[in-house]
Amino acid sequence: MKIASDNYCDLSDTAYFVDSVKVPWGLTLSQARDLVKEDRQALQAYGGGPNYRGQCREAFGFKATEVNIIAPAEDCPVLQVNYNLSPPDLKSQLVEPEFWVKSISKSMGPPVKESKRTSYRIDPSQSWRVIYNARWMKGNISVTLSTSGGYRENEVGAISIAGLFIDWKNEVQFAEPYLDKIKEVENSLVISNPKELVSEIINIGKKQKPYYIADYALQNPHATANDSALRRAQRALRSPLLFDTPQKLSNLMNDSSILIWQPENRDDFVVSTKWDSVFFSKDSGKNKISWFNILPAKGSGGMSLSVNELSIDDFHSSKTLSILVGKLSIYQNKDIQCAKDYDF
């Protein structure tokens, strides 16, 4: 069996590499792009969020075809770096996960979780399928290796058979510089008589949830929901318009409560769940709102409302959520249109 070069760069939480370019963890996506884009062909960026995708010949001693560097925003720290890895021998009809696992384990120790590690034959019809998967943890990073059933070819003809995914896990550390601005907003809100707002609370049909990102690599993927520091960090990095609902109001609300209110020292309104709040402007041009009613077909349907990064969900055709939207329309002096479809 061919083994990866002994001169591989250590997988660590100090830096990652794009070929020979060392990129310190903590740089923003914009900064990382500026470091690595020189003399490198950029590839079409993936949809769904800010990222830089470019050709890459080597990743930690392994032959590679491309790298994808991902962050919540251009001016936010990179949280994930992914590499497509080449087969060690294009003539071989076998995929041997041990080739990559042995070298990664030199740096990371044994995997904390993996599927059955065995050689298997390449099947072009199974190129979409992940056959082997392993995960390592070290310091502030998580590393995942996956191998596919057959070769995958990108738009420039480069062939890959495996993926290496590196995730930064200490989001509390990276969010620290972004929290002061949010704390300043939270501390500036004035509410002299919170109980006067009780009559304005709308209780919709579904229980809402605090903003958090589930981590399905954990035994309890939803543990973040009860970790206020991590939840605030995730929110600051990914949805920076959101802030904590003032405790005076949160104490008056339940899991289904939605409240539109106006701080005494602000022209703008605030839309709040029990946990999360966002400003809502009287100027409709400053608001970003989407309202969907998904009618049941194959699924049960549902109604969703997004107000400046605050997401609210209810059962389809919800009357109470429609009342809430009606109030928002009045406050911004512009109707909010509902898009309809069927839950196929």
pLDDT in tens, the chain (344 residues): 344 444 455 899 999 999 999 999 999 999 999 999 987 899 999 988 899 999 999 999 999 999 999 999 999 999 999 999 999 999 999 999 999 999 999 999 999 999 999 999 999 999 999 999 999 999 999 999 999 999 999 999 999 999 999 999 999 999 999 999 999 999 999 999 999 999 999 999 999 999 999 988 788 989 999 999 999 999 999 999 999 999 999 999 999 999 999 999 899 999 999 999 999 999 999 999 999 999 999 999 999 999 999 999 999 999 999 999 999 999 999 999 999 999 88
Task: State which amino acid sits at residue 313.
Answer: D
**How many whole angstroms separate alpha carbon 71 and alpha carbon 77?**
6
As a 3-state breakdown, the chain gives helix, strand, coil percent values, each rounded to 5, of 25, 35, 45
**How many whole angstroms separate alpha carbon 82 and alpha carbon 187?**
39
**Both structure tokens of 290:** 């989407």
pLDDT of residue 168: 97
pLDDT of residue 1: 36
pLDDT of residue 183: 96
**How many whole angstroms separate alpha carbon 248 and alpha carbon 270?**
14
**Both structure tokens of 50:** 């800010």
**How many whole angstroms separate alpha carbon 304 and alpha carbon 311?**
7
**How many whole angstroms separate alpha carbon 275 and alpha carbon 33?**
35
Element (H, E) at 203: strand 202-203
pTM of the prediction?
A: 0.90
Q: DSSP characters for 27-88?
A: -BHHHHHHHH-TT--B-PPPSSS-EEEEE-SEETTEEEEEEEEE-SSTTSB--EEEEEEPPS
